[in-house]
Amino acid sequence: MRDHRTSATRRAAGLSRLPLALALGASVLLSVGAAPAGAAKGPGDLPNLQAALDTLKSTATHNAVCRFLSAPVPGGGSPGAAVTLPAKADPCEGVPSFTIKDPLALNEIAPAFVTGTAQPSLNDAVKLSYAVAGVTTSGGRTATVLLAPTGTTGWHLAAVREGDTDATYAGKADLATTVFSEPQIRGFYQLKLTTVEPLNDAARQGLNGQPSVSLADYQKLVKARYADKQPGSEFDTKGFSSGLGGGRPHSSSASSTPLVVGGSGAAALVLAGGAVGLRRRKRARLR
């Protein structure tokens, strides 16, 4: 009889703990699914992924890519030249078929890290700036769609530009490696724990030819390069720069200028007040 009561007591105790266990399990799931603050650690670690996918699949984004691809592949051209896009009722008329890939996280160095007010740690050094998606046409031309965050829950189309460099490097991130860019020189790096390694020639130059540096030493390098070129500085107010961290898509080469909405080393689709244009610039400025 005593054994029966003991067994019943144990079952009751187990049932009483079940809601707590379920609550703890739900808490773990919510923590895993929560949008990360700061940098995105891996290529799939993008906050509000469904919202980004919805934006990429929207008619507005599809038409914007069509308008961009309506222009010829950028060549030379004079600095600051604007290219007039064909006026068509159907922006996709005559445009080769294309595929927009899934969005990836594009991290950049954080302004506070550059000024030295933030610690040389992953969470403080790097911030998530854009979601980028590579575009490939049936003819082999590539482009990139940039999405900027809308509040804390969504994304909106920021720019379309030539080439898929951003998406290519963003795709090199994994759970152990954070990829980020130094947009002012178009350098791409990978951060493993507290070690910064270059991924392209611009980044190697940015590290003075070193194969790797500590995050603390990298902070000293970028502070020396940009700390006196922040928004409001003399460098900025005299028109030499649009400032660091100005919230605009960065230039994709050292020979180009970021545009009001979307910059590129060769060309970018500009979306402003409903007007659409393609512009090319050649003089570098800090963001």
Q: If DSSP codes are grouped into helix, strand and coil, which group holds residue 209?
A: coil
| Chain mean position to CA 177 | 15
How many Å apart are CA 21 and CA 24, to the nearest integer?
5
Q: What tens-digit pLDDT sequence spans the chain (287 residues)?
A: 545 454 554 444 443 343 333 232 322 222 223 333 466 665 557 889 999 999 999 999 999 999 999 887 766 554 445 555 667 788 899 899 999 999 999 999 999 999 999 999 988 999 999 999 999 999 999 999 999 999 888 999 999 999 999 999 999 999 899 999 999 999 999 999 999 999 999 999 999 999 999 999 999 999 999 977 655 544 444 444 433 444 444 443 332 322 223 333 344 454 433 334 444 443 333 34
State the Cα–Cα distance between residues 42 and 124, nearest whole angstrom: 17
Residue type, 216: A
Find the helix or strand (DSSP H, E) in which 98 lies. Answer: strand 98-100
Structure tokens at 225: 């390069």
Q: What is the pLDDT of residues 28-84, one digit of tens each?
A: 222 223 333 466 665 557 889 999 999 999 999 999 999 999 887 766 554 445 555
CA distance 209 to 188: 14
Rounded Cα distance, 237 and 216, in Å: 29
Q: How far apart are CA 283 and CA 257, in angstroms?
A: 5
pTM of the entire structure?
0.69
Q: What type of residue sits at position 163? A: G
- Phi, psi for 117 (deg, rounded to 5): -80, -15
